[in-house]
Structure 1
Amino acid sequence: MMFEAGQRIVFIGDSITDCGRRDVRAPYGDGYMSLVRALVTARFPGTPLTWVNRGISGNTVRDLAARWDRDAIGQRPDWLVVMIGINDVWRAFAGRPHEAVPLDEYEATLRTLLRSAVDATGCRLLLADPYLIEPDRTEPQRAESDRYAAVVARLAEEFGAPHVATQHAFDAVLEVSPPDLWADDRVHPGLPGHAVIADAFLRVITG
């Protein structure tokens, strides 16, 4: 396993990470992050870890930038887990184009944030793709989402960071199942969809 005893694992992102962690589901939420924590703990009970969820629903990279010092650097992570980009794309397709984040801004902002966290804390990064639970790769929002996922893959290589290909994980299950098995809106998963994400994380974390 890539994590070591005593390390602090900080997750940051949007609603997919948040999942109620700021209210009735505090402190971990009831999504993939909670599943990852539970499964890692169950598989490696002799490796104590501190888990922190700093997801906030609706966030884009612009929102992360506004709270990065507090919620990323200020948490002093040993590992910083980042999954962001769904809203950056989605807003352009949801009648809120002024809130969408263009691809070049997304890449530049995310690179700057990641570099600042590594430089300030010495943390390792674990990067996960934004995704759309849509099997037609030519569908406009899916095609655009893939461009943002490609940025994450490039940044993972640039930073030498493990990469969780969440879009690939959903594509695999979509070969034999409909999108609404995993999410009603192609974005916000039910528990089975969060399990798909968590399984992709576990494959990377545990090798």
Structure 2
Amino acid sequence: MTQLFQPGQHIVFIGDSITDCGRRDLHEPYGDGYVNLVRAFVTARRPELHLRWTNRGISGNTVRDLAGRWDDDAIALQPDWLSVMIGINDIWRFFTGRADEAVPIDEYEQTLRGLLRRAVDATGCRLILADPYIIEADAAEPQRVETERYGKVVEALAEEFSALHVRTQQAFDRALASTDSADWARDRIHPNLPGHAVIAEAYLAALDITSS
């Protein structure tokens, strides 16, 4: 195993409600979702690294919102690693009567690429990019089709920036082979705790973290 994290490094997560998960109120500072699970398991497996963790998810965010707070919530924190999961709201709002707030795929790609470039150039951080997802087994369902398109953007950006790529859609697809969407989320988007564990497992697989 290649050791990705070095002692004392700072890992920052930024994104929407899936990342936020109560980190600003009832479950501060890490939230009660995948971020806290990843933090807990990495800490348990590699306690000697004494890593620092910061959650900067905000519910409802699109990539446009990230652009508005990028300097304060990403660059100013000087992360060694920056994890970005964004795109679910950018897509979802096309399907919930809020098309003016949705982000077309070309804008999504251009904006996200620009933010990642600024972060890397300003801090030298390494990137972890997680796919947007929908917990929907029907590959022909319209929102699922769009989610796949945006996921391809993230995949390409991960390659472009030599980032770790967290395949969250693929992880849920494996789970859905023997379960229903409602087992993981009431609305196909916001996971229950087992659903967050699916995401966390995808992160741990990408990080390839084992015990020392």
Structure 2-normalised TM-score?
0.97
Deviation at 1:27, TM superposition (A): 0.2
- Counterpart among 75, 78, 99 of residue 76 in structure 1: 78
Equivalent residue runs for 1:1-207 within 5 Å: 1-206=3-208
Q: Percent of counterpart pairs with the same letter?
A: 68
The Cα offsets for residues 40-97 of structure 1, whole Å up to 9 and x where unpaired, read as: 0111111110000000000000000000000000110000000000000000001101
* Distance in 2 (alpha carbons) for counterparts of 1:182 and 1:195: 10
Letter in 1 for 2:103: V
The Cα offsets for residues 144-198 of structure 1, whole Å up to 9 and x where unpaired, read as: 0110010000000000111000000000010010000000000000000000000
Where does structure 1 lack aligned partners over 5 or more consecutive residues? none
Where does structure 2 lack aligned partners over 5 or more consecutive residues? none
For the aligned residue pairs, the C-alpha RMSD in angstroms reads 0.6
* Local SS of the residue matching 2:48: coil
* Local SS of the residue matching 1:46: helix
The Cα offsets for residues 102-153 of structure 1, whole Å up to 9 and x where unpaired, read as: 0000000000000000000000000000000000010000000110010000
After superposing on structure 2, the runs of 4+ consecutive aligned residues of structure 1 that deviate more than 3 Å are none
Letter in 2 for 1:146: E
Q: Size of the alignment, in residue pairs?
A: 207
Structure 1-normalised TM-score?
0.99
